[in-house]
């Protein structure tokens, strides 16, 4: 996972389209757009306010889409119902959707902002009355890229009338402030703060680009610290490659791997080829180059990278011209081929891997195992990309993952990436605590090399117990060791929550990667949900729900109250929340995990059935944990594990985690409808079910896992031959207690 990777392009784009019966969706015009930006030591928090106008003669349903660039995170959402501002709150996604569905259709719909693919967020709103301006507010944050001594902020605008105001604060002297897109009005407040306002656009006004210079020595290491009262501090370290570093070309091998699968057809493949042509043109004499093309098969220009010269360029351009769209996406095969095609020498080997698709993660990770010292740079194109896999592939091989939401930005971003990679400035980076408060929970786990125009960013936490911390970053610069240390004062509290959110987002990314790569488990999912709720982050498991109180049904009101109570519990408990791998279980062997400082003297769990266990710190998960068995004679009921945490400073905290022993089977209600080709089955259970399966009694290989519906039922269609059939329906609840029923069905001939 990256630490809020560099925001190289435009940060966010919001559009509202209206559904029109029998026609293409209409994009509603933006009649007002205002952006308020606060840049705090290179981190920008943007409040985007947009008003859309329904110019149709009838009420329409609107679909708001927000496309965010890599490194941007939604942290706030609201919309207006007339003059009333409805503020969104982050909840667990399924619960939020349940409330949303309960209220939908009763008049004014609530707002539900959900993640809809990589970097894309959607929000439905209904109704938008004729002539009604619909106001939407979204807050998102991003760590701005620093290139040399220039920090740049970019954001798309709807047009020339958009208003943008920036409150800029730095911990370094600010030099020139300029914009390539607009005239600026700048008001400085001392040498480290300024207010910036957009004036007339220099072009079409569709994008604002504001850059400012900072004054600092080469290889300056910065540490920004935040602490919530009573919690472990957060730190974001950063170091930019110096602007003044002379171009010292290092001969290297570059292998460009391009996806030409069916999903790339059309503009994406055309843009990818354009970017590849550009890269071939940019390739330097002295380097070696190869091109690998894949879909569900793999081919390459050469068996291994060859020296860049005029002939290679001609062959490469001709080869790229012949590339046409193909079939599926075998990422593993492509990586395996690219890795096997590397020369075995001491040159740097860079593999640039571009795809828009999804593939088997286990096989892909396995294929990359033989990469040796080759750096793997992955580029994900569009919302369908498997970010966890590409991110893990890059982070495991000292590369970076770049997400590009739209194909039209591809050539520019690829060129910029290639230019960066052309000049490694600091390689084999390591970070360590030298004295004072010790760091833990570092992201990324492995540090990529630092290239020209690039920046290294590291998020981590500090153990409590010291007022200062000294951290060292080491690497190799032109063959010589280079190290920088920075000492930070650890505050008792501070007001830069973006630092904590940066760490939480990196942790969430790692958990989502783990889920995508190793499967979803209750503890991984629960930790994502808890972190996302605690830090207001939209994830595949959490959404922003904005709902007018006046529209709440009794059921929705009860659900919302319960969700808010749970949210409060999480906010109060985080980050020292406890988690059981199974909260509802028959007697089994769950794992108890406790987030407590790594240097805690002791963490002891007292179980209600008499067991006392001392937890141990797991350096991989960075939690205290133990597994335990619940005796099989423990009665069903609600129980609590009490956990005593003895911290290094002598503080003793007692926490509790509830769990339920449940060995009762749920009741089943089965409805079977015979059709000429099989049976349609609908199952309702008395307790929430985790899975419902149906199988033919005569031939259990004829089986179907029913799909969960939105109302707690499960349903599906099992193809059957004409005649009489007995079907066994099995429902498993959250504790995996099973109940079954055999039903008969006659499929008509």
Partner 1 sequence: MSRAFLILAAVAGVLGAARPSARAEPRVATNTERVTALAADGASVWAATEGGLERYDRASGARLRLYTPLDGLDEASVLDVAVRDGAVEARTRRARCALDRARDAFVCAAAPEHAPPRPRVLGAFEGHRVSARLAIGEERYVGTAGGGLYREGAPPRRLTPEGQLCANHVVDVVPHDGRIYLGTFDDGLCVAEGGAFRRVPAPFRMVNDLVSTPAGLFVASSDGLYVTRDGRTFTRHRRLVRATTGLAFDGRSLWVSTTYSLHRLRVAGGPPPTDVLRPAGTTAIQDLALAPDGTVWLATEDRGAVRVRGDEITIFDRAAGLPSSWAIAVDVATDGTAYVGTLRHGLVAIAPDGSHHRVPLPDAWILGVRTEGDGGVLVGTQAGAFALASNGAAPATALGPLPDRRVHDVRRVDGALYLATEGGLTVVDAP
Binding site for partner 1 (CB under 8 A): 360, 362-363, 365-366, 369, 514, 518-521, 586, 588, 591, 601-602, 604, 606-612, 614, 616, 618, 620, 626-627, 629, 632, 642, 644, 646, 652, 654, 663, 691, 693-695, 697, 700-701, 703, 705, 728-730, 732, 736, 738, 740
Q: Cβ of residue 611: shortest distance to partner 1, in angstroms?
A: 8
Q: Which C-beta is closer to partner 1: that of 302 or that of 639?
A: 639
User: Quick one: 653 exposed, middle or buried, by C-beta within 10 A (0-12, 13-18, 19+)?
Assistant: middle
Total residue length of the chain: 749
Helix, strand and coil in the chain, % to nearest 5: 20, 45, 35
Q: Cβ of residue 518: shortest distance to partner 1, in angstroms?
A: 5
* 352 contacts: CB under 8 Å, gap ≥ 6: 254, 255, 256, 257, 279, 377, 379, 414, 417, 418, 421
Helices (H), 210-309: 267-282
Helices (H), 288-372: 310-322, 331-340, 361-368
Helices (H), 64-182: 93-103
Q: Which C-beta is closer to partner 1: that of 13 or that of 359?
A: 359
How many whole angstroms from its chain centre is CA 424? 27
Q: Cβ of residue 745: shortest distance to partner 1, in angstroms?
A: 15
State phi, psi for 398 to the nearest 5 degrees: 50, 30
Q: Cβ of residue 463: shortest distance to partner 1, in angstroms?
A: 19
Q: Cβ of residue 118: shortest distance to partner 1, in angstroms?
A: 21
Q: Which C-beta is closer to partner 1: that of 601 or that of 721?
A: 601
Q: Cβ of residue 343: shortest distance to partner 1, in angstroms?
A: 23
What is d(CA 637, CA 620) in angstroms, rounded to the nearest whole number? 33
The three-class DSSP label of residue 132 is coil
Q: Cβ of residue 475: shortest distance to partner 1, in angstroms?
A: 24
Q: Which C-beta is closer to partner 1: that of 302 or that of 606?
A: 606
Q: Which C-beta is closer to partner 1: that of 318 or that of 629?
A: 629
Q: Which C-beta is closer to partner 1: that of 106 or that of 697?
A: 697
Q: Which C-beta is closer to partner 1: that of 270 or that of 517?
A: 517
State phi, psi for 242 to the nearest 5 degrees: -65, 145
What is d(CA 328, CA 444) in angstroms, rounded to the nearest whole number? 31
What is d(CA 254, CA 348) in angstroms, rounded to the nearest whole number? 9
CA distances from 579 to 202, 462, 615, 629 (A): 54, 22, 13, 16
Q: Cβ of residue 369: shortest distance to partner 1, in angstroms?
A: 6
| SS3 per-residue string spanning 517-558 | HHCCCHHHHHHHHHHHHHHCCCECCEEEEECCHHHCCHHHHH
Q: Which C-beta is closer to partner 1: that of 550 or that of 632?
A: 632
Q: Cβ of residue 663: shortest distance to partner 1, in angstroms?
A: 8
Q: Which C-beta is closer to partner 1: that of 561 or that of 601?
A: 601
DSSP at 619: T
């Amino acid at each position: 996972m990256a630490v809020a990777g560099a925001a190289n392009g435009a940060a966010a784009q919001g559009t509202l389209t209206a559904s029109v019966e029998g026609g293409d969706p209409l994009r509603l015009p933006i009649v007002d757009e205002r952006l308020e930006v606060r840049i705090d030591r290179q981190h920008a928090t943007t409040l985007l306010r947009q008003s859309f106008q329904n110019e149709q003669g009838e009420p329409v349903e609107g679909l708001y889409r927000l496309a965010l660039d890599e490194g941007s995170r939604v942290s706030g959402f609201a919309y207006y119902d007339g003059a009333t501002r409805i503020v969104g709150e982050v909840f667990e996604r399924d619960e939020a959707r349940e409330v949303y569905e309960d209220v939908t259709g009763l008049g004014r719909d609530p707002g539900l902002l959900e993640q809809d693919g990589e970097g894309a967020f959607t929000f439905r709103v209904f109704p938008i009355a004729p002539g009604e301006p619909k106001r939407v507010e979204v807050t998102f944050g991003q760590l701005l890229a620093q290139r040399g001594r220039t920090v740049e902020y970019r954001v798309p605008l709807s047009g020339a009338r958009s208003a943008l105001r920036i409150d800029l604060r730095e911990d370094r002297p600010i030099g020139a402030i300029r914009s390539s897109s607009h005239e600026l009005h700048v008001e400085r407040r001392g040498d480290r703060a300024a207010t910036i306002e957009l004036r007339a656009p220099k072009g079409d006004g569709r994008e604002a680009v504001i850059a400012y210079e900072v004054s600092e020595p080469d290889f300056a290491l910065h540490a920004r610290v935040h602490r919530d009262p009573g919690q472990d501090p957060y730190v974001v370290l950063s170091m930019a490659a110096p602007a003044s570093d002379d171009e010292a070309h290092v001969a290297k091998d570059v292998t460009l791997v391009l996806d030409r699968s069916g999903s790339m057809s059309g503009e994406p493949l055309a843009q990818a080829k354009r970017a590849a042509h550009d890269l071939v043109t940019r390739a330097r004499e002295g380097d070696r180059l190869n091109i690998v093309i894949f879909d569900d098969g793999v081919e390459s220009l050469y068996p291994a990278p060859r020296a860049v010269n005029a002939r290679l360029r001609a062959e490469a351009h001709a080869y790229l011209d012949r590339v046409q769209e193909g079939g599926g996406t075998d990422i593993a095969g492509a990586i395996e081929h690219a890795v096997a095609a590397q020369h075995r020498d001491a040159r740097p080997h860079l593999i640039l891997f571009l795809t828009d698709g999804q593939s088997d993660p286990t096989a892909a990770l396995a294929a990359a195992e033989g990469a040796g010292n080759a750096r793997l740079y992955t580029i994900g194109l569009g919302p369908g990309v498997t970010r966890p896999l590409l991110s893990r592939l890059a982070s495991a091989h000292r590369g970076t993952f770049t997400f590009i939401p739209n194909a039209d930005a591809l050539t520019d971003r690829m060129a910029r990436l290639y230019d960066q990679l052309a000049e490694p400035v600091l390689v084999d980076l390591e970070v360590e605590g030298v004295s004072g408060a010790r760091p833990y929970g570092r992201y990324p786990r492995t540090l990529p090399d630092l290239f020209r125009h690039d920046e290294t960013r590291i998020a981590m936490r500090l153990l409590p117990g010291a007022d200062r911390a000294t951290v060292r970053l080491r690497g190799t610069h032109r063959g010589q060791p280079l190290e920088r240390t920075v000492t930070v004062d650890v505050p008792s509290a501070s007001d830069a929550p973006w630092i904590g959110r940066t760490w939480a987002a990196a942790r969430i990314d790692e958990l989502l990667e783990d889920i995508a790569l190793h499967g979803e488990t209750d503890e991984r999912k629960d930790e994502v949900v808890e972190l996302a709720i605690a830090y207001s982050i939209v994830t595949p498991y959490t959404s922003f729900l904005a709902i007018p109180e006046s529209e709440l049904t009794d059921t929705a009101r009860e659900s919302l109250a319960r969700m808010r109570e749970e949210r409060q519990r999480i906010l109060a408990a985080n980050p020292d929340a406890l988690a059981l791998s199974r909260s509802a279980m028959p007697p089994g062997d769950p794992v108890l995990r406790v987030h407590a400082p790594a240097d805690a003297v002791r963490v002891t769990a007292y179980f209600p059935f008499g067991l006392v266990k001392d937890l141990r710190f797991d350096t991989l998960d960075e939690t205290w944990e133990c597994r335990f068995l619940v005796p099989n004679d423990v009665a069903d009921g609600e129980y609590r594990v009490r956990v005593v945490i003895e911290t290094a400073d002598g503080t003793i905290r007692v926490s509790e985690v509830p769990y339920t022993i449940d060995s009762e089977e749920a009741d089943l209600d089965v409805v079977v409808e015979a059709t000429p080709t099989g049976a349609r089955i609908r199952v309702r259970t008395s307790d929430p079910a985790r899975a419902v399966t149906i199988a033919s009694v005569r031939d259990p290989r004829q089986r179907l896992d029913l799909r969960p519906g939105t109302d707690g039922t499960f349903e599906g269609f099992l193809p059957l031959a004409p005649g009489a059939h007995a079907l066994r329906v099995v429902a498993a609840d959250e504790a995996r207690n099973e109940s079954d029923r055999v039903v008969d069905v006659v499929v008509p001939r």
